[in-house]
Amino acid sequence: MIVGIHHVAISVPDLDKAVAFYHDAFGFDVVQKSEWDRDMPLADRAVGLEETSARMAMLKAPNAYIELWQYRNPEPEDKRSRPCDLGYPHMALQVRDIEAEYRRLSDAGMEFVHDSPVDFGTSSAVYGKDPFGNIIEIYEIRDENIAQL
């Protein structure tokens, strides 16, 4: 039985900078951190890699978790995608007062694809990027008939 979404994982080149951004910009709290250097065979088995060296942090959002990873071994490849590419192209964060969040997140270092949120009538949305180029959508729902958090 599926209960719900637990977390979204994001690989980043600088864990400390990522933790600071997701904590300061979104208010997510760090609930777990770990680190190992090629001495965690259970983790290697779980992720299907060998001799991993990594740092991770689990951050709690209001209704789910964000898991941040900084791998040192194997050497990461930059495979960030465009919103239309196959795979996991973005995560969406539901917000209230999207205009205020747009300004606040811009000040926090997020770069958006448009100079303001796009109004769809019952909702508004706009894509942006964290400091590492990962795509994050901010999304406001104004219609009580649409599923909200």
CATH fold group of domain 7-73 = 2,3-Dihydroxybiphenyl 1,2-Dioxygenase; domain 1 (3.10.180)
CATH, range 91-141: 3.10.180.10
* pLDDT recorded at residue 75: 94
CA distances from 75 to 39, 80, 148 (A): 16, 15, 39
State both tokens at 74. Answer: 């194997």
pLDDT digit string, tens, across residues 74-127 = 999 998 888 888 878 888 899 999 999 999 999 999 999 999 999 999 999 999
Please indicate whether the domains covering 7-73 and 91-141 agree at the CATH topology level.
yes
Global pTM exceeds 0.85? no
Cβ–Cβ < 8 Å for 68, 19: yes
Q: Which amino acid is at 45?
A: R
Q: For the chain, give every domain's residue range.
A: 7-73, 91-141
